[in-house]
Amino acid sequence: MVWIMDDQSPHPRRRRTDSATPHTPKHAEQISGDSGGVPEKPHAERTQTIAIALGSGGARGLSHILVLEALDELGIKPVAIAGASIGALIGAVYASGVPAKDIHALAAGLLRNRGEIMRRLLAARIGRISDLFGGLGNPVMLDAERFVGSFMPDLVPEDFEQLEIPLQVVATDYWERREKMFDHGPIRPAVAASLAIPGLIRPVAHHGHTLVDGGAVNPLPFDLLRTKADIVLAVDITGGHSGKSNERGVPGPFEAMFATLQIMASSIVGEKLKSGAPDILIRPNVDAFRVLDFFRATAILKAAEPVKDEVKRRLEAVLG
């Protein structure tokens, strides 16, 4: 799914501390995102490692930033990150060493500037308005790699090997009908492929493979992290919409397509959870927002804010 960031000014990288010893993970816990305030604790030496999975979901994925802020405020550095679609993009920036509060500021700042967003989107567009009348294609179709090149900050390194936190990015191999995972080599083509939502962003051709949105096969890739850390924390944003029944009607073509993709993603996550859940499952309160509601960034971030305190409380309970 799509997410956009500003890359106009560099931000310092920050390293956090953590230590690791083997431990059996606790049973899964689901976080609702609506608990009371939790006092922050000073940095302390920790004996368990944490990995985080950031799921697909378009604009709802802005809520991932609040979860990462909670980790930063607790002084926790994940030992591994896995992401699909919007989760891959946010994960790549965070894994580069950018503090979550800076990602928050970058996203909120740019998403208030509609003119700049439209300028970058037009630069990434491959279709023409005349295509609509000539039956040649979608006039608003975006080139995935050009899109990522326009919006991903320059401080994200070229290759996975240069990241501060190991990252796994999920895409879908269109012709082989299976998951394609990236954890080495160039970062930007991998993230571009993971973001290539059908109908909006053109599939990515990469090393003989045709790749599309990672959410089509693994919208919440916590399974990739089972052997990477003692505790796996996953952020699921595939839930349904909360519109009132008397407000529901026939959706427009784009809304129907994107909402259907979300329904499919939610079904995949549900089946995965039956066979084995992550140690901590987080579901921010963002069901009311649509896939392309990026211009509602302020409202999304406000709605997701309560999840920070809940994440802190649950992690402190697990880590001691």
Q: What is the DSSP letter of 285?
A: S
pLDDT of 260-296, one tens digit each? 888 999 999 999 999 999 999 999 999 999 988 999 9
Question: 29 is written with which tokens?
Answer: 């816990």
**What is the pTM (predicted TM-score) of this model?**
0.81
Sign of torsion, CA 304 307 312 316?
negative
Q: Is 284 left (phi over 0), alpha (psi -120 to 50) or beta?
A: beta
Burial tier of 171 (Cβ tally within 10 Å: 0-12, 13-18, 19+): buried
Mean per-residue pLDDT, 56-75: 97
On whether the CB atoms of residues 87 and 219 are closer than 8 A, the answer is: no
Q: What is the pLDDT of residue 310?
A: 92
Residue 42 CB neighbours (<10 A): 6
Q: Is 276 left (phi over 0), alpha (psi -120 to 50) or beta?
A: left
Burial tier of 30 (Cβ tally within 10 Å: 0-12, 13-18, 19+): middle
Q: Is 203 left (phi over 0), alpha (psi -120 to 50) or beta?
A: beta
282: three-class secondary structure by DSSP: strand
DSSP 3-64: -----SS--------------PPPPPEEE-S-------------SS-EEEEE---GGGGGGH
Residue 60 CB neighbours (<10 A): 29
On whether the CB atoms of residues 304 and 33 are closer than 8 A, the answer is: yes
Dist CA 297 CA 5 (whole Å): 12
In DSSP terms, 31 is beta-bridged to: 282
Q: What is the pLDDT of residue 239?
A: 84
Average pLDDT, rounded, for the chain: 83
On whether the CB atoms of residues 283 and 236 are closer than 8 A, the answer is: yes
Confidence of residue 45 (pLDDT cuts 50, 70, 90): low
Q: Say whether pLDDT at 246 is over 60.
A: no
Dist CA 180 CA 212 (whole Å): 10
State the amino acid at position 39 in one-letter form.
P
Confidence of residue 62 (pLDDT cuts 50, 70, 90): very high
pLDDT of 166-212, one tens digit each? 999 999 999 999 999 999 999 999 999 999 998 889 999 999 999 99
221: three-class secondary structure by DSSP: coil
